[in-house]
């Protein structure tokens, strides 16, 4: 924890203000969230703040509101009508800018067209689009008429798409002819056609013309987006929606297993993200907010579409890969649009560290005020690099811990209400209203510095309502492990200042000779070696020790694999973590198996080195990573048996 290298002013921001607000919020959560809810515009006030029938929460029942009204109509009534809502940057450098009034018009036209197609309140609409403005428009149009969207990341296969359409029984799909990635056309419509061979619920497909290549159109089913909105009316009244009506269904990333269909409410979810984006990102109407996640993940739902638009900020949407055509693509975009809040993942930061600081140095990044990180724990090295090279030692880093299930950030510094001293690698403290705790197997709070399970002891408005059509699994997965508490599935530790340190997935823990070690601790130690850019650590079953440590490491530019380096890494790990952390094997690879959202799929590596079936791979980003790991492992086995 390299706090000593932080500039003084970042170390001494006041903590008292946070503590006061936090304590008060938990004294009476209904009072607290009731106050927060008043910050939105409701068509009808709720009858009650919370109806809590553990584990089922109804937030603001009886209250009526509309997400698209809050994100668009509200601004159109003010000066913001002519301000930029969306800056879109295409992969080939194309630009599109939509003001709030233009966004209003587009949302209304599509809402009208959807209604004409017979989409009604409660119907499910699947969205499978590249990162183009129509993605946000489709979500808002669906919400406007009370339908429920399920966004499927456009990098997913036809099987993953069909699964999600079938699980939600979606009636309409909004997609595109294709998208661009690294200069190539991704033929989305072909994937759609394959998926729709096995989706009985689906009636209509709406296709945005993005790439313009020839595609097949199925008579009676397929419709061009631009044709159906051509004569559409631009004034569809936003339907008042009851607070507990689902806003969307979204599947988790699948890092630990088969994705789960998370259902989010309208009122609770919107109240929650409205408040936390103020606290965590200090978002203002003059902010230019850029979250680099895909809208296909919860980060994109909350951080690209709903929260920044509710706040009347300008958002940046970028289509394409982060390092294409050059490794300064992102820094160029920040400079171009004068981005003030930038939100990305540790995996992206580590990738840019590998490219070197000369790339961000080419650009003026002075507009930045706050930097965010999400998706995995950020190792202190990456934190410091981000802080210095991107934030110019000026911008606080908000390391935000949350999940698809939580709807919004739960543990994070909150500069919008008073920034606490930062510690690189720690998500710091829970947000107001979030009763987080770290407990042992038996649900008792762990002592300082002892790893345990992260749980949430009180309901919060952003929480999932259930798993789609599977309330039993919802109960089982989240509310049965510890009594009266939400189980996050993550390992965590609290330090002497009660700061939270996330230590990876609880089901990815290693059990070595009686010691239980989180993957995160070991990976962070390996990555602190100057030669290593990224690493995955897994436990391989072992007859005597229980498990042994196996490391897959990607080296930084300028380093090459050698037996000597392996020895050096082993020594490094033993020195930092202790002698018990002696790896049995270290493999050097050029890629790690990751989910499409950029998280390491340790379960895949674990299955591989344990000679077990690899399991669900629908969310795997790049099959070549598994092939490479497999080759490295096979080669090792061959040498060992010679």
Residues that bind ligand ATP (CB under 6 A): 252-257, 259-260, 297, 374-377, 399-404, 427, 488-490, 502, 505, 597, 599
Q: Is the peptide bond before 325 cis (omega within 30 degrees of 0)?
A: yes
Partner whose binding site includes residue 274, from Mg ion, ligand ATP, none (CB under 5 to 8 Å by kind): none
Residues in the chain: 642
Partner whose binding site includes residue 93, from Mg ion, ligand ATP, none (CB under 5 to 8 Å by kind): none
Least separation, in Å, of the C-beta of 492 and ligand ATP? 9
Q: How far apart are the first and last CA of the chain?
A: 44
> What pairing do the DSSP bridges indicate for beta strands 241-242 and 64-65?
antiparallel
Q: What is the CA radius of gyration of the chain?
A: 24
Q: Which residues of 375-401 are buried (b: 16+ CB within 10 A; e: fewer)?
A: bbbbbbbbbbbbbebbbeebbbbbbbb
219 alpha-carbon distance from chain centroid: 37
Nearer to ligand ATP, 223 or 477 (CB): 477
Nearer to Mg ion, 584 or 621 (CB): 621
Distances, alpha carbon 555 to alpha carbons 17, 210, 559, 588, 635, in Å: 43, 38, 6, 7, 19
Q: What residues contact residue 574 under an 8 Å CB cut-off, 6+ apart? A: 581, 582
Least separation, in Å, of the C-beta of 30 and ligand ATP? 27
Partner whose binding site includes residue 275, from Mg ion, ligand ATP, none (CB under 5 to 8 Å by kind): none
Least separation, in Å, of the C-beta of 159 and ligand ATP? 16
Least separation, in Å, of the C-beta of 104 and Mg ion? 35
Least separation, in Å, of the C-beta of 505 and ligand ATP? 5
Least separation, in Å, of the C-beta of 411 and ligand ATP? 8
Q: Whole-angstrom Cα distance, residue 191 to residue 335?
A: 36
Partner whose binding site includes residue 599, from Mg ion, ligand ATP, none (CB under 5 to 8 Å by kind): ligand ATP
Partner whose binding site includes residue 127, from Mg ion, ligand ATP, none (CB under 5 to 8 Å by kind): none
Residue 126 DSSP SS3: strand
Quick one: which segment of 205-213, 232-240, 246-254, 423-431 binds Mg ion (CB under 5 A)?
Answer: 246-254
Quick one: which segment of 196-204, 250-258, 324-332, 554-562 binds Mg ion (CB under 5 A)?
Answer: 250-258
**β-sheet bridge partners, residue 204:** 172
Q: What residues contact residue 472 under an 8 Å CB cut-off, 6+ apart? A: none
**β-sheet bridge partners, residue 342:** 290, 371
Eight-class DSSP state of 234:
S
Nearer to Mg ion, 210 or 260 (CB): 260
Quick one: which segment of 146-154, 251-259, 342-350, 370-378 binds Mg ion (CB under 5 A)?
Answer: 251-259
Least separation, in Å, of the C-beta of 573 and ligand ATP? 21
Partner whose binding site includes residue 400, from Mg ion, ligand ATP, none (CB under 5 to 8 Å by kind): ligand ATP
Nearer to ligand ATP, 86 or 395 (CB): 395
Quick one: which segment of 137-145, 252-260, 352-360, 376-384 binds Mg ion (CB under 5 A)?
Answer: 252-260
**29-37 vs 267-281: helix crossing angle, rounded to 10:** 90
Task: Return the residue nearest Mg ion (CB atom).
Answer: 252
Eight-class DSSP state of 573:
H
The 10 Å Cβ neighbour count of residue 543 is 5
Nearer to ligand ATP, 500 or 633 (CB): 500
Nearer to ligand ATP, 63 or 539 (CB): 539
Q: Whole-angstrom Cα distance, residue 471 to residue 598?
A: 29
CB 430 within 8 A of CB 278: no
Nearer to Mg ion, 185 or 477 (CB): 477
Eight-class DSSP state of 346:
H
Nearer to ligand ATP, 87 or 383 (CB): 383
Side-chain-facing half-sphere of 62: CA atoms under 13 Å: 7
Quick one: which segment of 247-255, 275-283, 556-564, 626-634 binds Mg ion (CB under 5 A)?
Answer: 247-255
Select from 100, 9, 425, 468 the least CA-distant residue to 248: 468
Nearer to Mg ion, 308 or 489 (CB): 489
Least separation, in Å, of the C-beta of 235 and ligand ATP? 37
Nearer to Mg ion, 260 or 311 (CB): 260
Tokens (6 digits) for 335: 């400079």
Give me the residue label for tokens 């036209």.
109
Partner whose binding site includes residue 505, from ligand ATP, Mg ion, none (CB under 5 to 8 Å by kind): ligand ATP
Partner whose binding site includes residue 451, from ligand ATP, Mg ion, none (CB under 5 to 8 Å by kind): none
Sites of contact with Mg ion (CB under 5 A): 252
């Amino acid at each position: 924890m390299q706090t000593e290298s932080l500039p003084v002013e970042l170390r001494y921001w006041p903590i008292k203000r946070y503590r006061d607000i936090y304590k008060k919020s938990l004294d009476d959560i209904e009072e607290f969230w009731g106050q927060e809810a008043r910050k939105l515009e409701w068509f009808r006030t709720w009858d009650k703040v919370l109806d809590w029938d553990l584990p089922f929460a109804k937030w603001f029942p009886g209250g009526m509101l509309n997400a698209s009204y809050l994100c668009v109509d509200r601004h159109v009534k003010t000066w913001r009508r002519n301000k930029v809502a969306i800056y879109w940057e295409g992969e080939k450098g194309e630009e599109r800018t939509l003001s709030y009034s233009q966004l209003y018009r587009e949302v209304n036209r599509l809402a009208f067209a959807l209604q004409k197609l017979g989409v009604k309140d409660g119907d499910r609409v699947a969205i499978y689009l590249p990162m183009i403005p129509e993605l946000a428009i489709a979500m808002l149009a669906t919400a406007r008429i009370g339908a429920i969207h399920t966004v499927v990341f456009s990098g997913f296969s036809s099987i993953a798409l069909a699964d999600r359409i079938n699980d939600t029984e979606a009636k309409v799909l909004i997609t595109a002819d294709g998208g661009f990635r690294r200069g190539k056309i991704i033929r989305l419509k072909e994937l759609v056609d394959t998926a729709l061979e096995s989706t009985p619920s689906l009636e209509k497909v709406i296709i945005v013309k993005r790439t313009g290549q020839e595609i097949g159109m199925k008579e009676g089913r397929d419709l061009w987006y631009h044709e159906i909105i051509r004569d559409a009316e631009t004034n569809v009244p936003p339907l008042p929606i009851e607070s507990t009506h689902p806003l969307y269904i979204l599947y988790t990333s699948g890092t630990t297993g088969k994705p789960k269909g998370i259902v989010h409410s309208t009122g609770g979810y919107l109240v929650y993200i409205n408040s936390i984006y103020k606290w965590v990102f200090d978002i203002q109407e003059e902010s230019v907010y850029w979250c680099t996640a895909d809208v296909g993940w919860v980060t994109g739902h909350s951080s690209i579409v709903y929260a920044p638009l509710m706040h009347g900020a300008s958002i940046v949407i970028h289509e394409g890969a982060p390092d294409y055509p050059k490794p300064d693509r992102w820094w160029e975009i920040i400079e171009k649009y004068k981005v003030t809040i930038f939100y990305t993942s540790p995996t992206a930061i580590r990738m840019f560290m590998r490219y070197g600081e000369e790339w961000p140095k080419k650009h003026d990044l002075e507009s930045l005020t706050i930097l965010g990180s999400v998706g995995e724990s950020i190792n202190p090295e990456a934190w410091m690099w981000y802080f210095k090279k991107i934030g110019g030692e000026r911008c606080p880093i908000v390391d935000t811990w949350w999940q698809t299930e939580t709807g919004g950030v739960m543990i994070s510094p909150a500069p919008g209400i008073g920034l606490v001293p930062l510690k690189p690698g720690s998500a710091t403290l829970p947000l107001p209203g979030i009763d987080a705790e770290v407990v042992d197997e038996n649900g008792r709070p762990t002592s300082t510095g002892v790893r345990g399970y992260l749980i949430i002891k009180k309901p919060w408005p952003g929480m999932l309502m259930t798993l789609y059509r599977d309330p039993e699994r919802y109960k089982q997965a989240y509310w049965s492990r510890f009594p009266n508490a939400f189980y996050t599935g993550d390992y965590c530790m609290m330090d002497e200042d009660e700061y939270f340190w996330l230590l990876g997935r609880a089901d990815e823990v290693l059990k070595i000779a009686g010691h239980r070690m989180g993957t995160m601790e070991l990976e962070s130690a390996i990555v602190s070696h100057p030669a290593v850019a990224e690493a995955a650590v897994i436990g391989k079953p072992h007859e005597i020790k229980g498990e042994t440590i196996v490391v897959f490491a990607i080296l930084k530019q300028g380093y090459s694999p050698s037996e000597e380096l392996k020895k050096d890494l082993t020594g490094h790990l033993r020195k930092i973590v202790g002698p018990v952390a002696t790896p049995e094997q270290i493999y050097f690879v050029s890629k790690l198996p990751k989910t499409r959202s950029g998280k390491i799929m340790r379960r895949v590596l674990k299955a591989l080195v344990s000679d077990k079936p690899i399991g669900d791979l629908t969310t795997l980003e790049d099959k070549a990573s598994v092939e490479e790991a497999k080759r490295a492992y096979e080669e090792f086995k061959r040498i060992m048996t010679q």
